[in-house]
Amino acid sequence: MMATVQSQQHFFEGAEKLSEWVKLLRVVRCEIISVTSNKDMDAYVLSESSMFVTKDRFILKTCGTTTLLSAVDYLLDLVKKKVGFDKVVDIFFSRKNFSRPELQHCVHQNFENEVSFCYSILSDGSAYTLGRINGDCWYLYTLEDEGVTHPDQTFELLMWDMCPDKMRIFTQEECKSGEEASQKSGIADIIPGIKIDDFLFDPCGYSMNGLLPGGYYITIHVTPEPHCSYVSFESNVPQESYHELIDKVLDVFRPGKFLMTIFANKASIARDTYKTLENQHTMKGYRRRDHQFCCFKNYTLTYTHYTKLSEGTQYSRPII
Ligand SMILES: C[S@@+](CC[C@H](N)C(=O)[O-])C[C@H]1O[C@@H](n2cnc3c(N)ncnc32)[C@H](O)[C@@H]1O
């Protein structure tokens, strides 16, 4: 979930900020493991994924059986009370369809419940499903009211049916620390110069946040268990074309399936990237199953879903 908030007042980082975030995360049912900062952004590795805070934007990514949407009311109260921000400029709540929805809190057991919940707090929003409603799909609730005018883009790769050899790296049997896993897997080389905060769970699982100057981040989360292997990659690093980044991430993880979403507003250098993906029927040993393009008021959104070509399959179109 990403929310952008504003007011006329100057933003001030209160000293008790950390304890306020701890309380907010308690509502969501997760904890802070580690914090890293640069002058533009605070990045938190959480027991269930990540949180990023800038002067006017809040990004919360959670997994497992957390109750992410319960953070919205709390957050809106908090920013109003602490810094006087009282207007939500944008909100994006998105997720892939769950493998086991019945294990979730009732609000998160289906998208209709989530939409009702979002609508009860921010009633101008719209809800969308991209992909196949009888297969893999991706849900989005977005407000998109005024939107931001500065360049803005978000790239996400959600991967599953992961390569077991790659996943072994993210276990305590194979690596002793997050840093070792970042190096051994090749994660450390995906975006050069990034300030990495990584964590290896016991007995397995891996999370990392990476920061670049200018408010740019990447975040990667790995669930290596073979019966439910899953990796997420997200970044707001601007690219005219995401092909090189996609190649690097696929090389590191070799998923069986992945879906990709790219949001870009008019001011972003990524605004035309959808054109370069239009005829990308295959890429790096993967075949496209679904491809959709949406024009929202302030953003374009590209959704695309690929699955691995089986051994010996002939490529019918050029491969990047
Ligand atoms: C890295 S976390 C977050 C992954 C999340 N699916 C995502 O993409 O955002 C999940 C992985 O860490 C492991 N793990 C180990 N201890 C954990 C803990 N205390 N809390 C959450 N995950 C833990 C889980 O078994 C799983 O493999």
63 included as an active-site residue:
yes
Q: Whose CA is nearest to atom 6 of ligand 1?
A: 63
Q: What percent of the chain has pLDDT over 90?
A: 80
The answer to whether the CB of 221 is under 6 A from ligand 1 is yes
Once rounded to an integer, what is the mean pLDDT over residues 108-132? 93
Tell me which of 222, 231, 232, 253 to substitute to probe ligand 1's pocket, judged by most ligand atoms within 8 Å of the beta carbon. 222
Total Cβ atoms within 10 A of residue 45: 21
- Tens digits of residue pLDDT in 206-237: 999 999 999 999 999 999 999 999 999 999 99
Q: What pLDDT is attached to residue 1?
A: 76
Q: What residue type is assigned to position 219 of the chain? A: T
Architecture of the CATH domain 2-308: 4-Layer Sandwich (3.60)
Tell me whether the omega of the peptide bond preceding residue 213 falls within 30 degrees of 0, making it cis: no
Q: What pLDDT is attached to residue 310?
A: 77
- pLDDT exceeds 90 at position 7: no
Apex 74 CA angle, 73 and 78, nearest 5: 120
In whole angstroms, what is the distance from residue 232 CA to residue 258 CA? 9
Phi, psi of 62 (to 5 degrees): -135, 160
Q: Whose CA is nearest to atom 13 of ligand 1?
A: 205
Cβ proximity of 49 and 88 under 8 Å: no
Mean pLDDT of the chain: 91
Structure tokens given for 261? 């979403």
The answer to whether the CB of 119 is under 6 A from ligand 1 is no
Q: Whose CA is nearest to atom 25 of ligand 1?
A: 205
First vs last C-alpha separation in the chain: 31
**How confident is residue 318, by pLDDT bands cut at 50, 70 and 90?**
very low
In whole angstroms, what is the distance from residue 169 CA to residue 143 CA? 39
Q: What pLDDT is attached to residue 316?
A: 41
Q: What residue type is assigned to position 240 of the chain? A: E
Atom of ligand 1 nearest to the CA of 206: 1
Structure tokens given for 272? 């035309």
Q: What is the pTM for the complete model shown? A: 0.92
**Ligand 1 centre distance from Cα of residue 223 (Å):** 6
In whole angstroms, what is the distance from residue 67 CA to residue 1 CA? 12
- pLDDT exceeds 90 at position 319: no
SS3 for the chain is: CEEEEECCCCCCCCCCHHHHHHHHHHHHCCCEEEEEECCCCEEEEECCEEEEECCCEEEEECCCCCCCCHHHHHHHHHHHHHHCCCEEEEEEEEEECCCCHHHCCHHHCCHHHHHHHHHHHCCCCEEEEEECCCCCEEEEEECCCCCCCCCCEEEEEEEEEECHHHHHCCECCCCCCHHHHHHHHCHHHCCCCCEEEEEECCCECEEEEEEECCCEEEEEEEECCHHHCEEEEEECCCCCCCHHHHHHHHHHHCEEEEEEEEEEECCCCCCCHHHHHCCCCEECCEEEEEEEEEECCCEEEEEEEEEECCCCCCCCCCCC
Q: What pLDDT is attached to residue 9?
A: 52
204 included as an active-site residue:
no
ipTM of the complex: 0.92
The answer to whether the CB of 142 is under 6 A from ligand 1 is no
